[in-house]
């Protein structure tokens, strides 16, 4: 029990190691990766005294359970969920001292999708290209958690933060996505562009860390065919042949040949990490410094 590590008791539907990702490698075909809900990831680290770049566990919908091999300060943020230590209730979004040998269980999300578990010292997985993040598209970083897996933890950085209350944005009842039009908005008809900003869209159950897929009306195009592959930024709204926009998230491909009708700024992406299937989606066009008329 003397080593700093955790063993996975219940891996959950999809639990991965995430940090702030590995930006700057798109020219090598390597996506950004990293925590989809960065504010929740950063908060969890601050609560346990870690730097914000320390690696956490990102759960999906069903949470996870881990056994600590040494007494460790832990915090669970992001999607609210029941938290227990050896079956006894513990606070969510607050630092919790978990004794050596005890099981910390972050249960299913009560609303939202992704919770973040931070451990004093951070998850000390082997870095790849400067990051410990799991990238589901390229396969870089640690494998998604499985029952019985063991992950090392680093030494504690400092005392946990004292927080009497932590603000939470609440459930995502409507996903509002401001976007900058282009670079391929001219590939769509006036009717198609009007459909984008006035149509009734919702989050598809086919969404994942690579992209948030939508259901709703198809966007009409002016130009047939597809483009030669070109660079795809984080937040791109790519429109495949079915005409339904896909919002590229952190594990997105770095190139693609379908037209991009707009780009959602990075700071507007965290709510997409917590939007459950069926959540209404509204696209709001912007120009730098001013809104565009809608309709």
Q: Kindly state whether residues 144 and 246 are assigned to the same domain.
A: no
Percent of the residues in the chain that have a pLDDT greater than 70, as a whole number: 96
Provide the pLDDT confidence category of residue 179 given band limits of 50, 70 and 90: very high
User: Is residue 165 a part of any domain in this protein?
Assistant: no
Domain harbouring 226, CATH code: 2.40.100.10
Once rounded to an integer, what is the mean pLDDT over residues 228-246? Answer: 96
Q: Kindly state whether residues 15 and 94 are assigned to the same domain.
A: yes
pLDDT at 293 over 50: no
DSSP 12-70: -S--EEE-S--TT-GGGT----S-SSHHHHHHHHHHHT--TTS-EEE--SS-EEEEESS
Q: Kindly state whether residues 11 and 148 are assigned to the same domain.
A: yes
pLDDT at 122 over 50: yes
Mean pLDDT of the chain: 94
- Residue where a domain terminates, one of 95, 118, 152: 152
Handedness of CA 157, 21, 80, 151 (dihedral sign): negative
Once rounded to an integer, what is the mean pLDDT over residues 95-100? Answer: 97
Cα 106 vs. chain centroid, distance in angstroms? 17
User: Is residue 197 a part of any domain in this protein?
Assistant: yes
User: Is residue 9 a part of any domain in this protein?
Assistant: yes
User: Is residue 164 a part of any domain in this protein?
Assistant: no
Q: Kindly state whether residues 98 and 182 are assigned to the same domain.
A: no
User: For the chain, what is the domain count?
Assistant: 2
Given a contact cutoff of 8 angstroms between Cβ atoms, the answer to whether 57 and 64 are in contact is yes
The pLDDT assigned to 1 comes to 40
Given a contact cutoff of 8 angstroms between Cβ atoms, the answer to whether 82 and 8 are in contact is no
Once rounded to an integer, what is the mean pLDDT over residues 196-225? Answer: 96
The pLDDT assigned to 164 comes to 66
**What is the reported pTM?**
0.94
Q: Kindly state whether residues 122 and 27 are assigned to the same domain.
A: yes
Provide the pLDDT confidence category of residue 59 given band limits of 50, 70 and 90: very high
Once rounded to an integer, what is the mean pLDDT over residues 191-216? Answer: 98
User: Is residue 27 a part of any domain in this protein?
Assistant: yes
Tokens representing residue 207 in the block: 């969404």
Q: Kindly state whether residues 141 and 12 are assigned to the same domain.
A: yes
Given a contact cutoff of 8 angstroms between Cβ atoms, the answer to whether 135 and 31 are in contact is yes
Tokens representing residue 42 in the block: 């950063």
User: Is residue 158 a part of any domain in this protein?
Assistant: no
Provide the pLDDT confidence category of residue 76 given band limits of 50, 70 and 90: very high
Percent of the residues in the chain that have a pLDDT greater than 90, as a whole number: 88
Comparing CA positions, the residue from 223, 249, 226, 224 lying closest to residue 236 is 249
- Residue where a domain terminates, one of 152, 184, 219: 152
User: Is residue 226 a part of any domain in this protein?
Assistant: yes
* Least confidently predicted of 12-21, 61-70, 280-289: 280-289
**For the CA atoms of the chain, what is the radius of gyration?**
20
CA distance 70 to 174: 41
Q: Kindly state whether residues 138 and 21 are assigned to the same domain.
A: yes
Q: Kindly state whether residues 88 and 215 are assigned to the same domain.
A: no
For β-strands 211-215 and 201-203, DSSP reports them as: antiparallel
Tokens representing residue 95 in the block: 């630092």
pLDDT at 295 over 70: no
Comparing CA positions, the residue from 220, 218, 214, 188 lying closest to residue 201 is 214
Q: Kindly state whether residues 193 and 133 are assigned to the same domain.
A: no
Q: Kindly state whether residues 84 and 14 are assigned to the same domain.
A: yes
Once rounded to an integer, what is the mean pLDDT over residues 211-234? Answer: 94
**Of 225 and 80, the one with more pLDDT:** 80
Q: Kindly state whether residues 234 and 187 are assigned to the same domain.
A: yes
Once rounded to an integer, what is the mean pLDDT over residues 74-103? Answer: 97
CA distance 295 to 288: 19
Residue 85: DSSP 8-state? E
Residue 131: DSSP 8-state? B
Question: Which residue spans within 120-228 are E strands per DSSP?
Answer: 150-152, 175-181, 201-203, 211-215
Provide the pLDDT confidence category of residue 73 given band limits of 50, 70 and 90: very high
Provide the pLDDT confidence category of residue 3 given band limits of 50, 70 and 90: confident
Q: Kindly state whether residues 17 and 121 are assigned to the same domain.
A: yes
User: Is residue 162 a part of any domain in this protein?
Assistant: no
Provide the pLDDT confidence category of residue 159 given band limits of 50, 70 and 90: confident
Tokens representing residue 280 in the block: 């209404």
Residue 190: DSSP 8-state? H
The residue segments making up the domain with residue 272 are 175-291
């Amino acid at each position: 029990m003397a080593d700093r590590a955790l063993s996975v008791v219940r891996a959950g539907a999809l639990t991965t190691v995430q940090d702030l990702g590995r930006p700057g490698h798109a020219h090598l075909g390597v996506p950004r990766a990293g925590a989809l809900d960065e504010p929740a990831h950063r908060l969890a680290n601050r609560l346990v005294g870690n730097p914000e770049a320390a690696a956490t566990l990102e759960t999906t919908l069903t949470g996870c359970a881990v056994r600590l091999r040494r007494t460790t300060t832990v915090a669970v943020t992001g999607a609210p969920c029941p938290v227990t230590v050896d079956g006894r209730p513990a606070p969510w979004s607050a630092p919790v001292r978990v004794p050596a040998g005890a099981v910390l269980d972050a249960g299913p999300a009560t609303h939202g999708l992704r919770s973040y578990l931070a451990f004093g010292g951070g998850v000390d997985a082997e870095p790849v290209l400067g990051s410990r993040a799991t990238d589901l598209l390229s396969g870089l970083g640690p494998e998604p958690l499985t029952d019985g897996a063991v992950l090392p933890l680093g030494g504690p950085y400092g005392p946990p933060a004292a927080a009497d209350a932590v603000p939470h944005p609440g459930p995502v009842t409507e996903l509002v996505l401001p976007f900058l039009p282009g670079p391929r908005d001219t590939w769509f008809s006036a009717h198609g562009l009007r459909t984008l900003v006035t149509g009734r869209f919702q989050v598809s159950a086919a969404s994942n860390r690579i992209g948030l897929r939508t259901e709703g009306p198809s966007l009409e195009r002016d130009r047939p065919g597809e483009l030669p592959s070109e660079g795809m930024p984080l937040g791109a709204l790519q429109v495949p042949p079915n005409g339904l926009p896909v919002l590229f998230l952190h594990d997105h491909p770095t190139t693609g040949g379908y037209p991009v009708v707009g780009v959602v700024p990075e700071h507007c992406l965290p709510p997409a990490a917590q939007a459950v299937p069926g959540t209404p989606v509204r696209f709001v066009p912007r120009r730098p410094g001013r809104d565009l008329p809608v309709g």
